[in-house]
Each structure stands twice: as structure tokens, then as C-alpha cells.
Amino acid sequence: MPLKLNSSDNNFDQNFTNFLNIKRDEEKNVDDEVREIIRQVRDKGDEALKDYTKKFDNWNAESLKVAPEKLQQSYETCNRHYVQAMQMAVQRVTDFHQKTYPEGFAYQDEEGLRLGMRYTPIERVGVYIPGGKAAYLSSAYMSIVPAKVAGVNHITAVVPHMNGECNAMLLATLHHLGVTDVWAIGGAQAIAALAYGTESITAVDMIAGPGNIYVATAKKQLYGKVGIDMIAGPSEILVLSDSTTNPKWTALDLLAQAEHDPMAQSVLISTEQDHIDAVLAEMAQMLPTLSRRDIIEKSWKNYGAVIKVKDWDEAIIYVNKIAPEHLQISLKEAYDFAHHVKHAGAIFIGKNSCGAMSDYSAGPSHVLPTNHSARFASVLSTQNFLKRTSILECSEEALIHLSENTATLAEIENLDAHKKSMEIRLESLGS
């Protein structure tokens, strides 16, 4: 059974704190193992990649490059119904991200100092596409489309091939996205190859895309050598629901999140015990009919939670403390409630809005901050793939206006060269 909390209980605060501190990453510490994998790939390049592919993915690779012809063939032979659904999703995601591209600015103050900000795309981006428990073709376009819209010149995709095989629809998606630099590698070794490059793979400037604990640890260790989008952990949803929503709908929203991964987390908050009981009953009835019930059972039993609150004003406090990856607001006054939410990766407003729509075809990326990191992190967008550069152009009038103040501050910090760099310019004005 999931964890059950009631805000009216005397020990609620401590129990809620314990809930927030639940560790959902895999228990084993992989730091040393990942560090060694990175070292081997850095030092031995393609040889290390082939060794790890044999060890972890169970196949001997003559070449790790996925031929563009194979991508095209996968696209041409795929079920057209699937292809059309993917194309529609890609177009919607593209349309959304075209609206997220930030505009630079420039202005001139009264003293003639011109200031501004401009955005330029990162040159080379590597995208990790998971290939473990399911075919994550949606992760391909959710990560790649924002990069393409941002204007990234070169995208390298890495996709694990278990036993040398990969989902054909995923390869078809890469073809549709115009990505031709695709490699059949996964795990920490793929992240290392993207960061350092090998004889065959050109190093990138940034790595994006979700993955398992080995991938996340490698991204963390290599941050600084390359940029990263975020450290994404197991997925999660927080559903706010009351009797205005069909309990079957709420039950399926919770089950849908739990089927992602045994470490996924589904949380229900409600003011009504009768509604909570109805949702739990629906979940119990529907669970045996689902193909991934074993995964759902582990997720729901180990990490699921039900929280009964006195009222929705109180619920807002706990929502912002949880800072969920996905927040589903299935309430009559859902829009008003959403205005009070400070911390959430994605918000689904109203009972007709659900996580499945966000995962596949609504428009925003489904690559989101997890594990309470929505307190400081954001959904993946074009801005992750853009660099901000400040611009400064100083006229003689501005130099005169700012020089004394600047020289004073430099003197306080005992930085003589800074001070003199201003003074010499002033002297030249008088000559």
C-alpha cells in the first residue's frame, strides 16, 4: 500500500518531511564505476566503447555508427499510422518551441553607454535517448526539437542497442528530425564519448536527454567539461483531485505515471476521504488489467502517497514544498489554484488535461526537473541550447561619466591595473 498521510494528525509534519526525503534513486553508489568508465573511454576511445557495448548491451559491434540508410529504411517501412502520429507530435512541439525563442535587446543610456544582450546557439549538442524498459521515441523529439529550433548546427544522438537491436520507430523518428549522426551506444560510456570524443565520434559542447543512474552520474561528473541540461531522476506526478472529477480519471493519471519505472512516484492530494477511497478502489480494480502491472505495483507500493488535507489553501503549501515534476490540478477551480503554484515543472490545469498528453503531443518538452528541483530548475526549452552574451559599447561621454566611480571601486578592491585602465583612457581624452 502507498504511504497515507493526514494533515490533521499530530505527527504529520515529521511524516511529511520524511516523505520529502525519500530516496528514489537506485541504492548502489555508482560514482567510482562511472569514473572508471569515463577514464577508459577518454583514454581508449572506440576500443573502450566496443568493449562496454559487448559487456553491457550484449553484442559485438563492428561499427557503432547507425548508417543513415538504416534510418531512412526504418522510416520508409514503419507503420504509417505511427509515423503520422509522430509527425503531428513533432510539428506541435516545433510550433510551441518557436514561441520560446528569446529576443535579445539593446539600449543606450543618457551618457551614451550602449548595452545589450544577444543569444547564440550552442554549436554541437549530444542527445541521449534511453533504450531500456520501453521505446522512448518521444524522448528523441522532446530533446532534439528545442535544440533544432534554437539553431544548433550539429546534433549527435546516442541510442543503446540491446543485443544489437533498436526500435525501428525510434530510428524513423531520428530520420524525420534530420539527425544523421547517430551512434549505437548507451550508458555512462556514451556520455563520456560525447564529452571527450573518440576516433569516430566528435566531442560536443552540451549533452541533453534523460537516462538511468549511470547516465545521470556521468553527466554530473562531466559537467564543466561539457554543458548539461539537468540531472533528471525517476519521474513523478502530484494529482490534486476532488469529487468534481471522475475517480477513474484520477486513478488512471496515477497509474500512468507509475508505469514509467519502478522508482516513479504518484501522489494524490485531496480534501475528501470519500473521493480518496473511490480513487484507490478504481486503481485496485484497473491495475490487474494493465500490461506493466508489475512495474506499477512496485512504484505505487514503495513510493506512492496519498495526502488528505483540510482545505485547498493548505494544499498549496504542500504542493510548493513537493515542487513536483508534473502537477495535475483536477479541481473545479483549477485555474485559480494554478496561480498560487510557485514550484512545478509542468502544470496540467483541469480534468481534461493529463500527463499522457504532455508526454507525447501537447507541445512543451516532457524533459522536466524531478526530485523537488523545480524549486530552481525549469522545463527543457530552446533557452537550454542558447548562450547569453552581454554587449557593452562605451562612448567618450560615458567613459567620463563612469570613470571616477569605476576607479574608486577598483581602488577599494586594490586592483591597480583596473584603476589605471580607466585613468589612461581619460588622459587620452585630454591630449
pLDDT computed for residue 60 by the predictor: 93
Rounded Cα–Cα distance for residues 411 and 207 (Å): 42
Q: For this structure, is 404 an active site residue?
A: no
Count, residues in the chain: 431
Active-site hit among 161, 259, 325, 372: 325
CA gyration radius, the chain: 26
Q: What is the pLDDT along the chain (431 residues), one digit of tens a residue?
A: 899 999 999 999 999 999 999 887 665 689 999 999 999 999 999 999 999 999 999 999 889 999 999 999 999 999 999 999 999 999 999 999 999 999 999 999 988 899 999 999 999 999 999 875 556 889 999 999 999 999 999 999 999 999 998 999 999 999 999 999 999 999 999 999 999 999 999 999 999 999 888 999 999 999 999 999 999 889 999 999 999 999 999 999 999 999 998 999 999 999 999 999 999 999 999 999 999 999 999 999 999 999 999 999 999 999 999 999 999 999 999 999 999 999 999 999 999 999 999 999 999 999 999 999 999 999 999 999 999 999 999 999 999 999 999 999 999 999 999 999 999 998 888 65
pLDDT computed for residue 29 by the predictor: 84
* Residue tagged 559491434 (cell numbers): 61
Quickly count: other Cβ atoms within 10 Å of residue 127's Cβ. 27
pLDDT computed for residue 27 by the predictor: 56
pLDDT computed for residue 239 by the predictor: 98
pLDDT computed for residue 217 by the predictor: 94
Rounded Cα–Cα distance for residues 258 and 237 (Å): 9
Contact 57, 160 (CB under 8 A): yes
Q: What angle do CA 333, 338, 343 make, to 5 degrees?
A: 155
Rounded Cα–Cα distance for residues 238 and 224 (Å): 33
pLDDT computed for residue 381 by the predictor: 96
Q: Global pTM?
A: 0.92
Separation in Å, CA 177 to CA 80, 140, 367? 16, 9, 18
Contact 192, 218 (CB under 8 A): yes
pLDDT computed for residue 427 by the predictor: 87
Rounded Cα–Cα distance for residues 269 and 120 (Å): 42
pLDDT computed for residue 62 by the predictor: 87
pLDDT computed for residue 135 by the predictor: 66
Rounded Cα–Cα distance for residues 315 and 423 (Å): 59
Q: Is 110 helix (H, G, I), strand (E, B) or coil?
A: coil
Phi, psi of 6 (to 5 degrees): -135, 125
Contact 117, 391 (CB under 8 A): yes
Rounded Cα–Cα distance for residues 135 and 172 (Å): 12
Largest CA distance in the chain: 89
Report helix angle 247-258 to 293-303, nearest 10. 100
Spatial neighbors of 286 by CB under 8 A, at least 6 apart, are 248, 251, 252, 255
Q: Is 427 helix (H, G, I), strand (E, B) or coil?
A: helix
Phi, psi of 55 (to 5 degrees): -70, -45
pLDDT computed for residue 26 by the predictor: 60
DSSP classification of residue 102: P
Q: For this structure, is 413 an active site residue?
A: no
Active-site hit among 161, 275, 326, 343: 326
